[in-house]
Amino acid sequence: MDDVALAEAFDRRRPRLRAVAYRMLGSLSEADDAVQDAWLRLWRTDVERIDSLDGWLTTVVGHLCLNALRARRNRREAPLDAFRPEPIVDPADGSDPEHEAVLADSVGMALQVVLDTLGPTERTAFVLHDLFAVPFDDIATMLERTPEATRQLASRARRRVRDGAPTPDPDPKRQRTVVDAFFAAARDGDLDALVAVLDPDVVLRAHRRAAAPIELRGALRVGRGAMGARRFAPYVRPALINGAAGVVAFDHGRPFAVLAFTVVGDRAVAIDVFNDRDLVPRLDLRGVTA
């Protein structure tokens, strides 16, 4: 295979590799770095000795991400630009095709939040097996564990995901109806109407750089918190956040917060708020305007 054919073969696989890396690392920029590193390794490798290019590339990207996760955990201080999970924002009327490829397996931001709480080995086992169908034997080699131990890692992670990342309503119109009702109630100062669109056990997470999120739990507490920020309610614009209904909030025409909603049925079960002053300006917000 000549260099041109090799580059074309890699580019056909790039969307899937980027999806693997984003789920592993929670950051598109870090995901792109891992994919680029995988390309460099492929270019230096004798391709004729590779039995399955798909499997080889997925394993390489997985290993690169695993090393990055381990280094992240061992690092005493996170770099200034470290913010994970990093939301993917699209206009409300449709996702960027590249983002659709990354989020093809999406069950919303709640999944990415839970993935970020897993240890490196659990995250690797779950993401590669459950989301991308990599055989346990291949993952076990990467983790230097037995296949049975790798299954147990994935099983523990699966329970964490099941408990912490409810599957959102698949109907985007129903999601949007709940989000719109939430902000209409906030604009009107109607606490009862706010509480009515929140699950009794709703959790609001305010994400911070290199730290656990601040949480509010319960419909009444979250509703009261929204009432405290009601002055911004007229200045939110609909958007898709990791493929699900959400908003971008503006202050004097500048974006300052991204809110991702997880909607089940006719109520919000989770709201993830990203308002870091360094993160939000760096996000790609094309198509979402004040």
Give the domain ranges of the chain.
3-74+94-164, 172-282
Q: Mean pLDDT over residues 87-111, rounded?
A: 80
Within the chain, residue ranges assigned H as helices are 3-25, 28-43, 53-74, 97-102, 109-115, 120-126, 136-143, 147-164, 172-188, 191-196, 219-228, 279-282
Topology of domain 172-282, per CATH? Answer: Nuclear Transport Factor 2; Chain: A, (3.10.450)
Cα–Cα distances in angstroms (integers) from residue 38 to residues 161, 258, 277, in the given order? 28, 31, 32
The helix/strand/coil state of 198 is strand
Contact 105, 16 (CB under 8 A): no
- Give me the torsion for CA of 229, 289, 283, 92, rounded to 10°: 90
Q: Which of 215, 210, 212, 203 is nearest to 264 (CA)?
A: 203
Contact 115, 125 (CB under 8 A): no
pLDDT of residue 105: 62
pLDDT of residue 80: 43
Contact 249, 90 (CB under 8 A): no
CA angle 66, 11, 116 (to 5 degrees): 25
pLDDT digits (tens, 9 = 90+) for 17-50: 999 999 999 998 899 999 999 999 999 998 888 9
Tokens describing residue 255: 């974006």
pLDDT digits (tens, 9 = 90+) for 264-287: 989 999 999 999 988 898 888 888
The helix/strand/coil state of 256 is strand
- Check if 3-74+94-164 and 172-282 are the same fold: no
Q: Is the peptide bond before 91 cis (omega within 30 degrees of 0)?
A: no
Q: How far apart are CA 185 and CA 171, in angstroms?
A: 22
Strand-pair partners of 264: 267
Q: How far apart are CA 232 and CA 250, in angstroms?
A: 7
Residue 212 has pLDDT above 90, yes or no: no
Residue 206 has pLDDT above 90, yes or no: yes
Tokens describing residue 30: 């870090």
Q: How far apart are CA 259 and CA 149, in angstroms?
A: 37
Contacts of residue 14, defined as CB under 8 A and 6 or more positions apart, other chains included, come to 35
**CATH 1.20.140.160 is held by the domain 3-74+94-164:** yes
Q: Which of 51, 20, 44, 55 is nearest to 34 (CA)?
A: 20
Tokens describing residue 202: 């709703």
Q: Mean pLDDT over residues 195-199, rounded?
A: 97
User: Predicted confidence band at 93 (pLDDT cuts at 50, 70, 90)?
Assistant: confident
pLDDT of residue 262: 95
* Residue found under tokens 């073969």: 9
Q: How far apart are CA 129 and CA 23, in angstroms?
A: 12
* Largest Cα span, the chain: 66
Region of poorest pLDDT, from 94-98, 136-140, 200-204: 94-98
Q: Return the amino acid letter for 276.
A: D
Q: Return the amino acid letter for 12.
A: R
